[in-house]
Amino acid sequence: MTDTVVIARTDAVLEIRLNRPEKKNALTRAMYDAVADAFIRVDADPTLHVALLTGTGDTFTSGNDIADFQARATGNTESSSSRFLPTLSAMQKPLIAAVNGAAIGVGTTMLMHCDLIVAARSARFVMPFTSLGLVPEAGSSLLFPRLLGHQRASALLLLGEPMDAATALEWGFVNRVVDDTELMETARGVARQLAALPPQALRLTKRLMRHGTTDVTARIEEELALFRERLVSPEAAEAFQAFIEKRKPDFSRFS
């Protein structure tokens, strides 16, 4: 079996690659855990200064595995991402994302907790929570309106409209957009730049910039409580079943 998360170290940089391309890097519990463990490793190892997150193939990640959502809704209600999200938002060292294609659901919301984002021209950011009968997570219901204003955030979070790479750059969601073939070279260059800086100064600066984000932590918890309720809702059941059956969901019976 191939590793669904591949970890590779180059000097002070730990590269974390989501590696389930046959399922568009949909995140399973094992993958969330492996990524969270890698974040913890970077923070704990004084010889590691930076983490770089990317995906294999044409998709950064298609978000939470929908079959896992369905399994949780029908019994195992423990959230796969309940350890991942707090670990991500509490990370002390810089985290760079290299977005190699579509970033869906948590694939986009997790990026709000990354420090620098390099996107391939093919990157596309989509948060289809409402169409799955769900609510946003990872603090995105607070962070997106704060970054983009209510109207743009509504297009992304209520309508689930995709945001392309050029728009993401214009709206300040990503730092750079480069040709797909240049993505990793550019992101690794940013990682090397950070890794050459004084690590303690970086950690303290990140802490200062993230300081006062107790409202984000509270929002993540509030969202998670609602998210758990929504997972077992009839609306979500219809959306998950439609995805599995590769058909359009029918929400006409819901009021």
State the Cα–Cα distance between residues 127 and 140, nearest whole angstrom. 10
Our finding on whether 24 is near ligand COA (CB under 6 A) is yes
* Distance in Å, CB of 71 to ligand COA, minimum: 11
Examine residue 64 and tell whether it contacts ligand COA (CB under 6 A).
yes
Q: What is the SS3 assignment for 104? A: strand
Q: Which two tokens stand for residue 110?
A: 């997790």
Q: Does 56 bind ligand COA (CB under 6 A)?
A: no
What sign for the dihedral angle of Cα 23, 26, 27, 29?
negative
Tell me the site size for ligand COA, rule CB under 6 A.
Answer: 16
CB of 21 to ligand COA, least distance (A): 9
Q: Which of 40, 67, 71, 237 is the binder for ligand COA (CB under 6 A)?
A: 67
Contact residues for 152 (Cβ-Cβ < 8 A; gap 6+): 144, 171
Contact status: 85 vs ligand COA (CB under 6 A) = no
Q: Which stretch binds ligand COA (CB under 6 A): 22-30, 89-97, 114-122, 156-164?
A: 22-30
62 part of the interface to ligand COA, by CB under 6 A: yes
Query: Which of 4, 54, 56, 59 is close enough to bind ligand COA by CB under 6 A?
Result: 59
Q: Which residue is nearest to ligand COA (CB)?
A: 105
- Is 32 one of the binding residues for ligand COA (CB under 6 A)? no
In the complex with ligand COA, which residue's Cβ is closer, 13 or 97?
97
Q: Across 20-87, where does the E strand assignment appear?
A: 50-55, 59-61
What one-character-per-residue DSSP string does 177-207 give?
EE-GGGHHHHHHHHHHHHHTS-HHHHHHHHH
Q: Which residues contact 15 (CB under 8 A, 6 or more apart)?
A: 7, 8, 9, 51, 52, 54, 188, 191
Q: Which is nearer to ligand COA, 206 or 243 (CB)?
A: 243
According to DSSP, the β-strands at 5-10 and 50-55 are unpaired
Q: 87 or 140: whose CB is closer to ligand COA?
A: 140
Beta strands in the chain (DSSP E): 5-10, 13-18, 50-55, 59-61, 95-99, 102-104, 116-120, 124-126, 163-164, 176-178
We find the least distance from the C-beta atom of residue 123 to ligand COA, in angstroms, to be 13
Distance CA 83, CA 66 (A): 18
> Per-residue x/- mask for ligand COA, residues 110 to 129, rule CB under 6 A?
------------------xx
Residues that bind ligand COA (CB under 6 A): 23-24, 26, 59, 62-67, 102, 104-105, 128-129, 132
